[in-house]
Amino acid sequence: MMLAIPDLLDKAAVARVRAIVDAGEWVDGNVTSGHQSALAKKNQQLPEASAAAREAGQLVLDAIGRSPVFIAAALPLKIFPPMFNRYQGGEAFGTHVDNAIRILRGSEFRVRSDLSATLFLEEPEAYEGGELVVEDNLGVHATKLPAGHLLLYPASSLHRVEPVTTGARVASFFWIESMVRDDAARTLLFDLDRSIQAIAARQGQGDAEVVRLTGIYHNLLRRWAST
C-alpha cells in the first residue's frame, strides 16, 4: 500500500524543522549506505547522531504520534529515528530496495523495515526534479508532495529519487517495523478501519454495526499482529 498523508506537519512545524536542519552540518549521504545503495546514491545527509538530527527527528516523531491516519496505516511497533537528506546540483538516488534490517549505530536498536516513509520539507515548486518514484505491481508512481506531507510505502518496493536540477529537495526519511508484517493484511485492516470510522461518523460509535465491525477489526488484528 502506498499512502500520502497530508499535513503531518503544518507550515509552522515545517519552518521549525527546517530552521534546525538547515543550520546543521551536512555530510556525504553515503556515510549510511550499504554496498548497493552507495553505487546509486548521490546526496547529502545530516549525521544521524548529530544534535540537529535528534532535535528535528523528535519533532517528526511527535507529529507521527498525533496522526491517527499514520497509526492506522502503519500499525507501528518500532520506528527508526527520522533522518534528513538534501538533493541539489543534479544529485539523485538510483533505483534500489531499502535494507531489510536497519540498525541504529552504537546501539542494539534494530528495525525490520516493513514500511518506508518520506516526509517532504520543501515546496515542490522550489526545485526541479526530485520526484520519489516507487514501483509496485500496479506500475510506476512518481510523487512530489507539498512540504509537511508524508508518503508511506512498502520498503520492499523498488524506488528512486530523480535528479534535482535546480533548487534543493529537503526531506526526512525513516523506516517502520509494523505489528502486522504482511502488507496485504495491513491494507485490509486500514480499509476496514476507515469504513468503521465513516459508519461511526454517520450512525454513532454505539451503533450495533459499528460495534460488530470493530470487533472484527480487533479479532483480525489479534490474529495477525506480533508485539
Q: How far is the C-alpha of 26 from the C-alpha of 46, rounded, in Å?
A: 5
Name, in order, each residue with C-beta under 8 angstroms of 178's C-beta and a sequence gap of 6 or more.
74, 75, 76, 77, 114, 115, 186
pLDDT at 137: 84
Cell numbers for 155, please give them: 520498503
- What's the pLDDT at 188? 98
Domain ranges of the chain: 3-178, 183-224
Exposed, middle or buried by CB within 10 Å (0-12, 13-18, 19+), for 112? middle
C-alpha cell at 211: 460495534
What was the pLDDT predicted at 35? 54
Can you identify the CATH homologous superfamily of domain 3-178? q2cbj1_9rhob like domain (2.60.120.620)
Q: What is the pLDDT of residue 187?
A: 97
Cα–Cα dist 190/194, whole Å: 6
CB 215 within 8 A of CB 207: no
CATH match of 183-224 with 3.40.50:
no
How far is residue 139's CA from residue 132's CA, in Å, rounded to a whole number?
14
Q: How far apart are CA 40 and CA 53, in angstroms?
A: 23
Q: Distance between CA atoms of 2 and 139, rounded to whole angstroms? A: 12
The pLDDT profile of the chain, 227 residues, written as one tens digit per residue, is 999 999 999 999 999 999 999 999 999 988 765 555 556 899 999 999 999 999 999 999 999 999 999 999 999 999 999 999 999 999 999 999 999 999 999 899 999 999 999 999 999 999 999 999 999 888 999 999 999 999 999 999 999 999 999 999 999 999 999 999 999 999 999 999 999 999 999 999 999 999 999 999 999 999 999 99
Q: 183-224: same fold as 3-178?
A: no
- Cell numbers 535546480: residue: 166
pLDDT, position 38: 59
Contact predicate 60/82, CB 8 Å: yes
Output the pLDDT for position 56: 98
First to last CA, the chain: 21
pLDDT of residue 36: 55
Contact 97, 160 (CB under 8 A): no
- Mention every residue, 6+ apart, whose C-beta is less than 8 A from residue 172: 17, 56, 57, 60, 82, 83, 84, 118, 119, 121
Residue 200 CA to residue 35 CA, distance in Å, equals 49
DSSP structural state of residue 180: S
State the cell numbers at 217.
Answer: 477489526
**Structural contact between residues 82 and 57, judged by C-beta atoms closer than 8 angstroms:** yes
